Structures are given as structure tokens and as C-alpha cells.
Amino acid sequence: MIFSHAGIRIDWRGSSCPERAIHVEIAEGSPALERPGALAYALPYQGTRIVVFLDRLRNIAAPSTVPSLLGHVIAHEVTHLLQGVVRHSCSGVMKAAWNADDYRQMRWGVPLSFTKEDLLLIQLGMQAKPFLTSTD
Ligand SMILES: [Zn+2]
């Protein structure tokens, strides 16, 4: 839903995910010293893998908010990979750290949005990584 506002369709594949697609790993019991404070990470300069620390999401959000927060965290990290750069915006999905208003919006089921710069960088990044737009 977050990406549909950006005109992007996500094709979830499960275990049959192609090798060069974006792989999302949901981790539990993340070590405190591994990327302290981060809810997830992606390495846009090295590959197409995302790791989400689900236990940390559960620690900061009410159970009813976790699914929406998880969607936003995955969208944020996927966007880093699509853009191919580590950068953040002043508002929306690509904010470096969401505040109470952002979490409230998620809790209400209203997706955070992308800025114009986010959308432009997604387009440019996808042109540079055509394998991410493959449908096979
Ligand atoms: Zn980020």
C-alpha cells in the first residue's frame, strides 16, 4: 500500500524468490550491540538483502501497531535498495527517525508518504537496477 502511492507494485515471492530480487529477513532476538537502536538495515552499496529486527519493533510499538510499523520499516529499507543510496528525508517514509506523530499516523492506518525527492531517486535507482523490475 505504501508503494502503490508511488506507482510501484511489490511482487512477494516467499521461498521461490529469485536470487537477484530483494530478500527480507525477519530477525528475532537481535544482539544489543548489533546496530544499536536500528529497527532494520539494508546495504544498498553491497546487495539486495534487508534485515528487520522484529523484537525491537515489538519493544517500541503496541501489538496492534506492529504490522503497520513492520510495513513501514520494510518500505523504508526497500527504498534504500531501490534508490541505491543511503540518504534520508525530512518527512515521511524515508525519515531517519520517526517521531510520535509519525507513529500515531501509522497506528491510525494512514501510510506515511514519500517526498518528491524520494520518488525521483526511486525512479533513477530502478533505471540503474533493471533486474529489480523483472517480472520473471
Ligand atoms: Zn534509513
Distance 18 CA to ligand 1 centre (A): 24
Q: For residue 113, report the distance from its CA to the centre of ligand 1, in Å.
A: 14
Give the other-Cβ count within 10 Å of 76's Cβ: 23
Q: Is 9 exposed, middle or buried (0-12, 13-18, 19+ CB in 10 A)?
A: exposed
Q: Output the pLDDT for position 134.
A: 56
Distance 22 CA to ligand 1 centre (A): 16
- pLDDT of amino acid 135: 53
| φ, ψ of residue 85 in degrees (nearest 5) | -140, 155
Q: Which residues of the chain have pLDDT under 50?
A: none
Q: What b-and-e string marks burial along 26-53, b requiring 16 or more CB atoms within 10 Å of the CB?
A: eeeebeeeeeeeebbebebeeebebbbb
Going from the Cα of 97 to the center of ligand 1, the distance in angstroms, rounded, reads 8
**Count of Cβ atoms closer than 10 Å to residue 128 Cβ:** 11
CA of 99 to the centre of ligand 1 (A): 14
- Ligand 1 center from residue 90 Cα (angstroms): 12
Pull the grid cell for residue 94: 524515508
What does the pLDDT read at residue 19?
Answer: 80
Instruction: Give the whole-angstrom CA distance, residue 26 versus residue 63.
Output: 16
Within 10 Å of residue 110's Cβ, how many Cβ atoms?
10
pLDDT at 45: 80
